[in-house]
Amino acid sequence: MKIAVVGAGLIGQAWSIVFARAGQHVMLWDGQEPALLEAPIIIAKLVEDLAQAGLVDDPAELLARISTEADLEVALKGVGYVQENLPEKLALKQSIFERLDALTPPDVILASSTSSIPASKFTETLAGRARCVIAHPVNPPYLVPVVEICGAPWTAPDVIERTWQLMQQIKQKPVHIKKELEGFILNRLQGALLREAFKLVQEGYVDAEGLDTTVKDGLGLRWSFMGPFETIDLNAPGGLADYAQRYGPLYHSIAKEQTDTSPWSEAVIQALDQQRREQLPKEQLGDRRLWRDRRLMAMAAQRKRLEQNGSEL
């Protein structure tokens, strides 16, 4: 299948790698010429890193499947699926989906990578609104495979099914979000943890380093290979229901203190930023991001080895 990736920023570059790695032919478009010129250079470097980690078998063959095109109409010719990745601005989403709907045959799926905006907000007036869907990746999708699939009330069931099948085919991990909601599932879970994290620091219970240690060397170790429901299912002799009976009153009591919906405190943001800059100077952020990606590559490579050996994570 030929795939159109609309938007050549970080997410568009990453999606191009994901599709091409799975054998799909990718046409990458962007309305900004500098972005379109820079994208192949960045993609080539990322693919080289993935190859060194054992996550890409033939870098040259992968890169040969990715082409760039400055003319949107040309980029969309003959495609079976479109993945849009423009900035998180509603007017921009509305404008690009009007163009995509006008320029593609009615059986082509139009998917958005938006991390927060429900599809109904930018597809309602389209003639082809039934073929529009959210396919929200986790950054970077070539290392973190979850994709949240969420339709608008008018999205056709077969569009959800075809998108699900495509994500499985390219070795991503699709999750069907059954009703629209802002932020979908991943960002709502992340937001809940961040809200409590900010609050615990604001009220003087812990500092940035202690909070991060609690997650990365505590909850995160379990959450890296099983979710919260499986976690609690294994944390009581009788399983999930037993856990809920034992600890439900505790969490109910805690929840009564977690009802604040005020914005993150600017003072706490500044204090946390200062603590982070003491641990990691701003000029080292880029190097640390590369370190993060190398760690993710090592984890992905280990998962790949286990899967090839028939072992369950």
- pLDDT digit string, tens, across residues 71-123: 999 999 999 999 999 999 999 999 999 999 999 999 999 999 999 999 999 99
- The CA dihedral of 68, 74, 77, 82, to the nearest 10 degrees, is 50
Q: Specify the pLDDT at position 243.
A: 94
How do the domains of the chain map onto residue ranges?
2-177, 187-279
Distance CA 300, CA 171 (A): 12
Distance CA 104, CA 79 (A): 8
**216/304: higher pLDDT:** 216
CATH number of 187-279: 1.10.1040.10
Q: Specify the pLDDT at position 30.
A: 97
Residue 312 has pLDDT above 70, yes or no: no
Task: Please give the share of the chain, as a percent, with pLDDT higher than 70.
Answer: 99
Contacts of residue 150, defined as CB under 8 A and 6 or more positions apart, other chains included, come to 118, 119, 133, 134, 136, 176, 177, 180, 184
CA atoms 199, 205, 211, 215: torsion sign: negative
For the chain, the helix, strand and coil percentages under 3-state DSSP, each to the nearest 5: 55, 10, 35
Tokens standing for residue 51: 């190859």
With 0-12 / 13-18 / 19 or more C-beta atoms within 10 angstroms meaning exposed / middle / buried, residue 36 is: middle
Q: Band of the pLDDT at 313, cuts 50, 70, 90? A: low
Q: Specify the pLDDT at position 306.
A: 82
With 0-12 / 13-18 / 19 or more C-beta atoms within 10 angstroms meaning exposed / middle / buried, residue 114 is: buried
Q: What CATH class has 2-177?
A: alpha beta
Task: Please give the share of the chain, as a percent, with pLDDT higher than 90.
Answer: 89
Q: Specify the pLDDT at position 303.
A: 83
Exposure string for 47-74, b = 16+ CB within 10 A, e = fewer: bebbeebebbeebeebbebbebbeebee
Q: Specify the pLDDT at position 222.
A: 93
- pLDDT digit string, tens, across residues 198-253: 999 999 999 999 999 999 999 999 998 899 999 999 999 999 999 999 999 999 99
Q: Specify the pLDDT at position 64.
A: 98
Mean pLDDT for all residues in the chain: 95
